[in-house]
Amino acid sequence: SQKIEQNSEALNIQEGKTATLTCNYTNYSPAYLQWYRQDPGRGPVFLLLIRENEKEKRKERLKVTFDTTLKQSLFHITASQPADSATYLCALASGGGATNKLIFGTGTLLAVQP
């Protein structure tokens, strides 16, 4: 069956360090992958999208990689700040691009300590 895995354990890092979050999937061939941020009691907010033919995407302090051979995406936050503390969700396209349906992982909680 199709499965998306994110580390369920919280990731604790020191301010200024690089946070790296992992998203692994099985039995998928997604056309693209998205990352969202979710703060407690709020809806997810879109951060980045990466296509299957892209290896890496950057936006300010954020970087996403997509390895379709390993079936894995890595999400990096450089020079992390306490304000980056949140749950980060990865989401994979289900079906072709025109359907725009997403399958979400369970998320990883990031805690950045000052």
Question: Rule CB under 8 A: is residue 31 a binding residue for other proteins?
Answer: yes
Question: Which residue is associated with the tokens 């009691």?
Answer: 41
Question: Rule CB under 8 A: is residue 104 a binding residue for other proteins?
Answer: yes
Least Å distance between CB 57 and other proteins?
A: 12
DSSP structure string for 56-70: EEEETTEEEEEETTT
DSSP-derived secondary structure letter, 9: S
Cα radius of gyration (the chain): 14
Question: Rule CB under 8 A: is residue 29 a binding residue for other proteins?
Answer: no
Contact positions vs other proteins (CB under 8 A): 4, 8, 31-32, 34, 41-46, 49, 51, 89, 91, 93, 97-98, 100-107
